[in-house]
Structure 1
Amino acid sequence: MTDVADEPARPRRGRPVALCPEQRRERILDALGEVFRAAGMSGTTMAAVARQAGMSKRTLYDVFSDRAALFGAYLQRLRSDFVQPLDEAALHLPLEERLRHLLAPRSCPTSFDLPLAILRAMIAEAPERPDMARSFLDEGPRAIQALIRAELDRAVARGEIGIADTGAAATLLSDMIRPSPLEVLIDPGELPDDPAVQARFNLAIEVFLRGIACPELR
């Protein structure tokens, strides 16, 4: 039996190293992934995540009010692997280049098992937990659509394109550039590889810009 005092990583006396709010948040999100890989969705409880993160449940609830908030934050972090907000220099590029910079597929080392499990849970629990479903939509599709719409609005203001409803156009492009999750939810083996995702993205950008009569592609 190993005594706690024998563990060199843990000091015997003194206060534990204090984490800033962002570090605490990242530790919790890392713990969420670790708990899911070890115990599946049924074992991914707030208590289990707190234990894995090395903190009390009270501390965890100070950061995330419930499981919906925790899942929403995880999806928000995952979204950063798929969209790249434009810096000041990129804002001056033509629309096509801005959209490619913003939305281009990126190889992501993260397994999709947890995101798909969260999505399944949100679909199953939506009738009883509409807040969880809204969290997924707000941190996932709607956030991406808002970023696209901002660039389309910018393009309209600059005279690059003429679109009456940039919101509808942003939703359309968002649906075009990524495969629908429905097939993958039903059969995880349908998850496309990187070349297939890139090919779909290129086609979607070309079809979309031609469809809205972007001057640079006329």
Structure 2
Amino acid sequence: MSSHPVVSRLPVMSDAERRERIVKAAEAVFDALGYGDATMEEVARSAGMAKKTLYRFFPDKRSLFTALIESHEQLQLDIHVQRGRTLDPRQRARFALEALARFVLSPRQIIVTRLITAEAGKHPELARQFYLECVETIRSFLASELVSNPTPSGLDGVDRRDIADIFVGAVLGPLQTKVMMLGADADDLDDEIVRRVDLALRLLMPA
């Protein structure tokens, strides 16, 4: 009987799984070290992959950062799926605001926002990219959701994106800062999101 130890093989990952593993590793490394001090070598080590594998998916740190902020596309996908259901305008606004708040306050987005806040002075190009691809995308998305709702009294002619800003401020307020600095229990946070959305709708979109 052979006494050689049995060597277990690591499961074969698809390219999509490898890519997501790298992005998660980059998320952790950027959060721990900051964008400026993070290295591709450290990301590869954290992902448990060879550097050549990392470079096959991402040629540099900037492309890794871009991959982190591209997750806003999932928010749009979730909303498009929900649009196919029968919702009255107020229900659509509620769903959009709750989905938006959950996205903005998700662990990955909190890490990215914290990173951008810390690095904006040294890397203004990253701050600009984040603003255009996340903040402006969110404003436009919510504004498009509000189109199907009657404009609040006295606000005819006001840019829908400005109205969207008011809704976002009413829902998030200091909550985003609190989560960034202190963290939050997932269940408690979700309850708070639902409560704030309900309050915002009652104040800004009375039935």
TM-score by length of 1: 0.65
**Aligned twin of 1:149:** 143
Q: 1:33 to 1:117 in 2, by over 3 A?
A: closer
Matched, 1:19 2:11: no
The reply on whether 1:127 has 2:121 as its aligned counterpart is: yes
Q: How does 1:1-150 map to 2 (within 5 A)?
A: 7-10=7-10, 17=12, 19-20=14-15, 22-33=16-27, 35=29, 40-41=32-33, 44-77=38-71, 80=74, 84-87=78-81, 88-90=83-85, 92-104=86-98, 112=107, 115-150=109-144
CA–CA distance in structure 2, aligned partners of residues 23 and 93 of structure 1: 35
Residue type of the alignment partner of 2:71: R
Residues 97 and 168, structure 2, Cα contact 8 Å, conserved in 1: no
Partner of 1:202: 198
User: Could you tell me whether the CA contact under 8 Å between 1:86 and 1:98 is conserved in 2?
Assistant: no
Deviations 1:14-58 (A, max 9, x none): xxx5733x3332121233355568xx2357532222233344434
Deviation at 1:117, TM superposition (A): 4.4
Structure 2 regions of 5+ residues with no counterpart? none
Q: Indicate if the aligned counterparts of 1:126 and 1:133 stay in contact, CA closer than 8 A.
A: yes
Any conservation in 2 of the 1:84–1:101 contact (CA below 8 Å)?
no
Task: Tell me how far apart the structure 2 counterparts of residues 128 and 34 of structure 1 sit (CA, whole Å).
Answer: 20
List per-residue Cα deviations over 1:138-179 (Å, max 9, x = no partner). 3433222221112223x16xxx44742112112222222223
The match for 1:176 is 170
State the 1:206 CA deviation: 2.3
Higher relative contact order (CA 8 A, sep 6+): 2
Note the 1:177-192 alignment, pairs <5 A: 177-180=171-174, 181-185=176-180, 187-188=181-182
Compared with structure 1, are the counterparts of its residues 193 and 68 closer, same or farther at alpha carbon in structure 2 (3 Å cutoff)? same
Say how many residue pairs are matched: 191
Percent identity between the two aligned chains? 27
Structure with greater helix share of residues: 2
Query: How large is the RMSD of aligned CA atoms in angstroms?
Result: 3.8
Query: How many Å separate the matches in 2 of 1:99 and 1:151?
Result: 6
Where in structure 1 are there 5+ consecutive unaligned residues? Answer: 12-16, 211-216
The one-letter code of the counterpart of 2:33 is M
Contact 1:50 1:57 in 2 (8 A): yes
Q: 2: CA distance between counterparts of 1:149 and 1:65?
A: 35
